[in-house]
Amino acid sequence: MEEVDGVDETDDNYGITVAYAQDAIGVTAKFRNEQGRNEWNLEGSYDMGNGATIMAGALNENEGDDVDYYVGGTYDLGGGASMLAVYAIDDRWRPG
C-alpha cells in the first residue's frame, strides 16, 4: 500500500448486530466503530396481532454522544396499504 504525504491513517471499521425474533416480539442491537467513531442502536417491536405493530428505539449514529429516540406504530389498512406514525426526539437539534 502506498503512503501519501499529508493523509492521516484511517482506522479499521468493525461492528456486530444481534437480532432476536420470537412470535410477536422483535429486538435488534447494533454496535459499530466507523473510522474511530462508536455508534450503536437498540430497537424493538411488538406485533399486537390486530394489524397494529408498535416500535421504539434508541440510536446513537452521529459524531457526538447524543442519543436519539423514537416511538411509533404501523397499522395494516388492508389491500397492501399501511399507515405509519412516529414521534422522534433528535438531541442534535434541541436548543440549549
Residue matched to cell numbers 440549549: 96
Rounded distance, CA 54 to CA 85, Å? 10
DSSP 8: P
| Domain range list for the chain | 14-93
Long-range CB pairs of 51-58, under 8 A, 24+ apart, other chains included: 51/75, 51/76, 52/76
Rounded distance, CA 53 to CA 44, Å? 10
Reported pTM: 0.71
The 10s digit of each residue's pLDDT in 62-83 is: 666 678 899 999 999 999 999 9
The 10s digit of each residue's pLDDT in 23-63 is: 999 999 999 987 777 889 999 999 999 999 999 999 987 66
